[in-house]
Structure 1
Amino acid sequence: MTTPKTFVTLGAGQKLFEALHMAQTLRIGDRVETSGQGWDDDLAIPEGIEEELEQAFRNVELALAPAGATWQDVVHVNSYHVGSFPPEVNGTIARLFRHYMPARPPIWTQTGVEALGLPAMRIEIRVTAILA
């Protein structure tokens, strides 16, 4: 049996671990699971949705790294959205997929939700990566 290993990033990840006893990343064998939010190290959310999405993608990248994964290893993305799906949301996510995963697109599930972990959050991204 493979033993699960958790990882906590510095900054926001460490703050959330201390406050909520949660890890951002879990690796079990060749499978890596993580979730990323659009906050900075002080848990501040950008004013614009595009900036929040860009920050969330950077945070996923940071969360994957300690487990030995990158966006290139991602096979599935779940995005959770507060409110509707305006064109700039899908357009920004598609642009970021092309930037971070140019060789292979992921499967992607979008889900609308009433609220997320912080009142100002509009997006959360959860990914599954498989290491070759």
Structure 2
Amino acid sequence: MSNLKYFDGSDLGARFGAMCHYSQAVVLPSGIVKLSGQGGWDPVTGSLSPLEEKEGNDSGSAGEKQFLDVTTQISNALNSIDTVLRSAGCTNGWSDVYQVRSFHTNLDSDAFFTMVAKVKEKCGADHRPVWTAVGVDKLGLEGMKVEIEVEAILPTK
């Protein structure tokens, strides 16, 4: 498989990739770009907990671990996708995306319509990739509320 090209997109992506032995994206010989699922972690720290970043601890007021809300996680994941797409050669970012798959630990109407609005922001009103939304019990890391993967096509030259 030496004709495949792999990308991480950012230092954080490379760190996660090394830790879990995967790449953030692969470009197939056909020009299709497939991204690994992107979570809603903070793009600088990689944390899903705002308290870890602000106070250096992970406890909420009731002793429960607090996590970033679903809107923040969706925004962070979509921004991460844009970064990885561009590193893999999709110079148009979200305009090159043709397929979206989103996995949600709570696929209620708030999460669903937040996802709709945020993807529309990224793609523009005239670009509507195909989309599958799936409700799941749990995602890869504690506190993950959403994981989003996309497929795109490299722009023609």
Q: TM-score, structure 1 length as denominator?
A: 0.90
* RMSD over aligned Cα atoms: 1.7
1:110 aligns with 2:130: no
The secondary structure found in structure 1 opposite 2:104 is strand
1:1-132 pair list within 5 angstroms? 3-29=3-29, 30-34=31-35, 35-40=37-42, 41-45=44-48, 47-69=68-90, 70-83=93-106, 85-102=107-124, 103-132=126-155
Q: TM-score, structure 2 length as denominator?
A: 0.77
Using the alignment, how far apart are the partners of 1:20 and 1:64 within structure 2? 20
**Gapped runs of 5+ residues in structure 1?**
none
Larger strand proportion of the pair? 1
Using the alignment, how far apart are the partners of 1:118 and 1:64 within structure 2? 22
The secondary structure found in structure 1 opposite 2:101 is strand
Deviation >3 Å, runs of 4+: none
| Number of aligned residue pairs | 131
How far does residue 26 in structure 1 lie from its aligned partner after superposition? 0.7
How far does residue 48 in structure 1 lie from its aligned partner after superposition? 1.1
Using the alignment, how far apart are the partners of 2:127 and 2:28 within structure 1? 23
How far does residue 42 in structure 1 lie from its aligned partner after superposition? 2.2
Contact residue 76 and residue 108 of structure 1 kept, 8 A: yes
Structure of higher CA gyration radius: 2
